[in-house]
Amino acid sequence: MEDQNSCRGGFENCLNAQQTAASGLIFKEPFLWEKSRDGRCAMSIPMQDVEHSPLDPELVGDAPNLPQLSELDVVRHYTRLSQWNFGVDSGMYPLGSCTMKYNPKTNEVQASRLGFAGAHPLLDEDLCQGALELIYNLEQYLAEITGMDAVTLQPAAGAHGELAGMLTIHAYHAKQGHQRTKIIIPDTAHGTNPASATLCGYQSVNIHSGDNGILTPEAVAAVMDEETAGIMITNPNTLGLFEENIKEIAQIVHAKGGLVYGDGANLNAIMGIVKPGELGIDVIHLNLHKTFTTPHGGGGPGSGPIAVVKALEPFLPVPRVEKIPCSPNPNQSSKERGNNLNNDKNSYKYTLVYDRPDSMGRLLTFHGHFGILVRAYSYILSMGAKGLTDVSKLAVLNANYIKELLKQDFYLPYDRPCMHECVFTDKFQSDNGVTTLDMAKRIMDYGFHPPTVYFPLVVHGAIMIEPTETESKQTIDQFIHAFKSVAQEAKENPEILKSAPHLPKLSRLDEVSAARKPVLRG
Amino acid sequence: MKEITELNLPEDIKYSDSHEWAKVDAEIITIGIDDYAQDQLGEVVFVELPEVGAALSKGDQFGTVESVKAVSEIYTPVSGEVVEVNANLPDAPELVNNSPYDEGWIIKIKADDPSLLASELNDLKDKAAYIAMLKG
């Protein structure tokens, strides 16, 4: 165990017994083209069973320059790359504002069922009733969870959902006969909000939250007018605080004919506790890849459904999935029909509806990221209503637990109960020349993914921690211990932080040169 | 991070609440971000510049400064037309860090209304008032 007392950076005691990370054997791996050898091949093309038919020579060019590799070459290549990686399956990933929770494996089992995974997206609707039923039911569940009237599952991810939501608001004002020019965005909103509004032609009007991190009705009333399309509000906000004036703010916006857009990226804090529809929100997007345990961050495409109030339903993208009564089958006897009245599957069918004259049109090909929808559906059915409510309770409890236990060691700018994430800063450490970045790098040596840093922008040197409900108390205690150790090191041995991380395959990267002088080709 | 006493804040320029500076030479006003702003942002990796000829009103956003930490909008402290942008910044954004008041200037504006310019400059802070604001 002697080597546990030193590490590659040459720093004494940079590992201790309670640290979850240790150094290990990691392989270097060249590019596939460097491993390529002429004639090596990992596949055999099936025997030709049709007549030879040469292509028009004009259509034929040089073969693409693909690497030539054996199957083992390829397997080792990707296995080695995966070993350089860090994911929620390998350790805690407390990235604030991102909800990097565990993705249950049952979701993968359901999504890989042949009826879903093998279904062609252009199947005639009679041949994909199960898939359409899943879309319909998932929309109903999300409407119930958000307290809204209608849902579309088309948007490809969160920012796309925001765009869909803003296009809905834009279409609504156009239909009213007077398009508006501005949108209100508080400084505690998500950074993508102004971009979505700008794409709809709205100018962002930025307003500041109050001293306690909460938006005041006065700040909204001061700028809300009849040229303002509405407000984009994130609740809980990016400080992890619940916007407690939301109802009053919604009334102010509605009184001038505006709409309230809710950024639902932080839904994980309030599911089953608060319905956004009851707070006066008119349109909200959800991130299935955050709250509903579908893969997040390189693990697969996202999905950003939006939920709207009744008045906005006509503007949703087409096609819509509707549940309609079946016309009676003439070959059935009346007795059989009578029996079927009690059998939902035979008395209703699901159909795609395109005839929506006020619709914004299609947002994505086919039915959205359908495989992701299956995973979210699997999660909702696995958890049930009580389970989903417990998710939010535990996510909030875990964040408050971390906040209370770390606030002696790290400056807490808003010392009040938080929702599912808490925000510290590097104020206590900056006297020793240690920054948020140094601590984020150092926490990797303890086996944890760094939290979100320097966001939200309203907090200088922000360290934003979101543990999620899926981490056990033991793991969270390890994380707290690790962060306390980092605070101790910041006092006693700041150098070990400034050169961190020491254990990952690559140590501190030169991010400045990478950004100033990027090398974009090999 | 620098202490307030360590900041380089020249006497002969004016400061905005959003940390831009303005230096007046007849009707041409040179604008950049100050030492406090560059220090807070950290190493600047990209500066987005406006088109020469753009007409700006006081408070308009005219570009962005991007560091490894954050992207920050920059706002003009005076109204007028952009007559020149610092052509060295695309290749050497670090000038904003190394020389915020000299080689790291960002745009030059020509003010067409002297009385408006005078009142706008009057709204800006001198060194003492700016330091008082930073101290909160």
Q: What is the pLDDT of residues B23-48, one digit of tens each?
A: 999 889 999 999 999 998 999 999 99
Question: Across the interface, do B1 and A512 touch by the CB < 8 Å criterion?
Answer: no
Instruction: Using an 8 Å CB-CB cutoff, list chain B residues near A512.
Output: 43, 45, 68
ipTM field: 0.74
Nearest CA in chain A to B67: A512
Question: Across the interface, do B45 and A512 touch by the CB < 8 Å criterion?
Answer: yes
Q: What is the pLDDT of residues A125-146, one digit of tens each?
A: 999 999 999 999 999 999 999 9
Question: Across the interface, do B46 and A515 touch by the CB < 8 Å criterion?
Answer: yes
Read off the CATH number of the domain in which B117 is found. 2.40.50.100
Count other Cβ atoms within 10 Å, centred on residue A226: 9
Question: Which residues between 454 and 513 in chain A have a beta carbon less than 8 angstroms from any beta carbon of chain B?
Answer: 454-455, 457, 460, 511-512
Q: Is A31 helix (H, G, I), strand (E, B) or coil?
A: coil
Mean of pLDDT values over B9-25: 96
What is the total residue count of chain A?
522
Q: What is the DSSP letter of B90?
A: T
Cβ contacts below 8 Å, chain A against chain B, sum to: 21
Task: Give the C-alpha separation, B14 to B105, whole Å.
Answer: 14
How far is the alpha carbon of B45 from chain A, nearest alpha carbon, in Å? 5
pLDDT of A5 strictly over 50: no
Count other Cβ atoms within 10 Å, centred on residue A180: 24
Q: What is the pLDDT of residues A278-291, one digit of tens each?
A: 999 999 999 999 99
Task: Give the C-alpha separation, B62 to B106, whole Å.
Answer: 10
Question: Across the interface, do B69 and A515 touch by the CB < 8 Å criterion?
Answer: no
In contact, A301 and A157? CB cutoff 8 Å:
yes
**Partner residue facing A516 (CB), from B1, B40, B93:** B93
In which domain, by residue range, is B67 found?
4-135
Between the CA of residue A34 and those of A66, A77, A133, A165, what are the distances in Å?
11, 11, 49, 47
Q: Model's pTM, two decimal places?
A: 0.86
Nearest CA in chain A to B93: A516
A374 CB within 8 Å of a chain B CB? no
Quote the tokens at residue A451: 């939290």
Q: Which residue from B5, B27, B30, B18 is spatially nearest to B123, judged by alpha carbons?
A: B18
Q: Collect all residues from B whose CB is shorter than 8 A from any CB in A.
A: 1, 40, 43, 45-46, 66, 68-70, 93-94
Residues contacting A134, CB < 8 A, separation 6+: A116, A373, A374, A377
Instruction: Using an 8 Å CB-CB cutoff, list chain A residues near B66.
Output: 515
Residue A457: band (very low, low, confident or very high) from pLDDT cuts 50, 70, 90: confident
**Partner residue facing B45 (CB), from A435, A460, A516:** A516
**Structural domains counted in chain B:** 1
Looking at 3.40.640.10, 3.40.190.290, 3.40.50.300, 3.90.79.10, the CATH number of the domain A108-378 comes to: 3.40.640.10
Q: Which residue has the tokens 């991010």?
A: A511
